[in-house]
């Protein structure tokens, strides 16, 4: 772990937040080659099951074959490019709805109607394209690159940091998935996530739960983190979320490029999920919410209501930034050395990936 300082003060070029050519380069050089959160093991119904999702907007399917081997594939039929699997199910094959090409959970093409009459049909070469898959606790991550580095190398010290701050991910239970869309570039959404400089002005409820004045910023490998103790109003019982409990501080981590990992003070809780580009000026994402097995449903409902308020506040800020940066009149913004230091690291990461 090292302290972070911005090497210079400029943001990414603001043209990069609306340029379709940049968006295509990002798909090729970032989203097609990095680890993305796609879901959780509870979406699999034991051996002989699958669930479909996507990694950075690239359709993928995660399978657990009868041999209990976890696999992932690009969820695109090798015939005409239709998405093969949807949702989740317990069954031994994946069948494309377009022309019924059928694949095993090992990705091999098992059947293609009328292909027996086709000269030179190479069935063994037409299986689903493999992707890399790995797990951390109940979390499933996929890298569309079949030759990717192992997941544990990408995670780095994130599991240790999470555990050291009081959260046992293996004791969590999935509760709900919340989806969202934003009229903004994915990078603007994540830059907003990477600073709390805006919190005092825009998140009055949040700063009564976390002590933004004592916020610690860290970076290590692909991890960009914001850690904060609970606000003194929590101990007094006057915060807008009753955050008294065994988790005494907040954790907000970004695993580059887009995996958010959020823990609030209070009872064992987590929201985790990706952000991905839909277009140059639009993005989408989801958060999977997990809680400890004995957490009261009333407290869970309180946390959801709290998150809804903070999320709506952020949506307005992010979409306003998209409008401003897209006007074409200003080349870039100016970062602050301390408050925006994680944005500077994100900027450097994106710049390196696009130049690679």
For residue 198, what pLDDT is reported?
Answer: 97
Nearest to 260 by CA among 281, 241, 288, 282: 288
For residue 194, what pLDDT is reported?
Answer: 98
What contacts 217, CB < 8 A, 6 or more positions away? 4, 225, 226, 338, 341, 342
To the question of domain 14-22+152-355 being in CATH 3.90.380.10, the answer is yes
State yes or no: pLDDT of 81 exceeds 70: yes
For residue 356, what pLDDT is reported?
Answer: 80
What number is the average pLDDT over the span 315-339? 96
User: Above pLDDT 90, what percent of the chain?
Assistant: 97
State yes or no: pLDDT of 1 exceeds 50: no
**DSSP assignment letter at 31:** I
User: Above pLDDT 70, what percent of the chain?
Assistant: 98
Distances from the Cα of 149 to the Cα of 55, 155, 351, angstroms: 16, 11, 20
Among 2-6, 48-52, 262-266, 345-349, name the one with the lowest average pLDDT. 2-6
User: CA–CA separation, 339 vs 205, rounded Å?
Assistant: 20
**pTM of the prediction?**
0.95
Over residues 147-178, the pLDDT tens digits come to 999 999 999 999 999 999 999 999 999 999 99
Contact status, residue 167 vs residue 251, Cβ threshold 8 Å: yes
Contact status, residue 94 vs residue 61, Cβ threshold 8 Å: yes
Listing DSSP states for 54-95 in one string gives: EETTEEEEEEE-TT--EEEEE-B-TTT--B---SEEE-SEEE
- pLDDT class for 330, splitting at 50, 70, 90? very high
For residue 6, what pLDDT is reported?
Answer: 39
State yes or no: pLDDT of 3 exceeds 80: no
Contact status, residue 135 vs residue 70, Cβ threshold 8 Å: yes
Planar angle of CA 124, 128, 133, nearest 5 degrees: 125
What number is the average pLDDT over the span 277-282? 97
- pLDDT class for 203, splitting at 50, 70, 90? very high
Domain 43-147: state its class.
mainly beta
- pLDDT class for 4, splitting at 50, 70, 90? very low
For residue 5, what pLDDT is reported?
Answer: 41
Q: Give the residue extent of every domain in the chain.
A: 14-22+152-355, 43-147
Q: Is 312 exposed, middle or buried (0-12, 13-18, 19+ CB in 10 A)?
A: exposed
């Amino acid at each position: 772990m090292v302290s972070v300082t911005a090497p210079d003060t400029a943001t990414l070029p603001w043209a990069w937040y609306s340029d379709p050519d940049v968006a295509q380069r990002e798909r090729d050089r970032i989203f097609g080659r990095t680890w993305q959160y796609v879901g959780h093991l509870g979406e699999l119904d034991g051996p002989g099951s699958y669930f479909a999702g996507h990694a950075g907007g690239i359709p993928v399917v995660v399978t657990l074959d009868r041999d209990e081997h976890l696999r992932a594939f690009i969820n695109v039929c090798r015939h005409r490019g239709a998405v093969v699997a949807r949702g989740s199910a317990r069954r031994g094959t994946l069948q494309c709805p377009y022309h019924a090409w059928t694949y095993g959970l090992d990705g091999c093409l098992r059947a293609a109607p009328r292909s027996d009459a086709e000269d030179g049909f190479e069935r063994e070469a037409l299986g689903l394209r493999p992707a890399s898959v790995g797990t951390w606790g109940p979390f499933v991550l996929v890298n569309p690159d079949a030759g990717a580095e192992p997941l544990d190398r990408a995670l780095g010290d994130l599991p240790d940091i999470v555990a050291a701050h009081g959260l046992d991910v293996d004791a969590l239970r999935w509760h709900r998935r919340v989806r969202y869309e934003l009229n903004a570039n994915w990078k603007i959404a994540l830059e907003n996530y990477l600073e709390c400089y805006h919190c005092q002005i825009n998140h009055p409820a949040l700063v009564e739960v976390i002590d933004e004045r004592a916020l610690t910023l860290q970076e290590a490998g692909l991890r960009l983190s914001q850690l904060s103790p609970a606000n003194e109003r929590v101990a007094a019982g006057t915060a807008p979320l009753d955050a008294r409990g065994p988790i005494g501080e907040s954790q907000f981590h970004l695993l580059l490029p887009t995996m958010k990992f959020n823990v609030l003070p209070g009872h064992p809780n987590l929201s985790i999920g990706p952000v991905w580009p839909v277009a140059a000026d639009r993005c989408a994402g989801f958060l999977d919410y997990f809680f400890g097995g004995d957490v009261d449903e009333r407290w869970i409902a309180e946390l959801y209501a709290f998150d809804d308020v903070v999320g709506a506040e952020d949506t307005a800020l992010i979409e306003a930034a998209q409008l401003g940066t897209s006007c074409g009149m200003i080349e870039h913004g100016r970062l602050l050395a301390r408050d925006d230091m994680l944005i500077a690291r994100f900027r450097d990461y994106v710049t390196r990936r696009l130049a690679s």
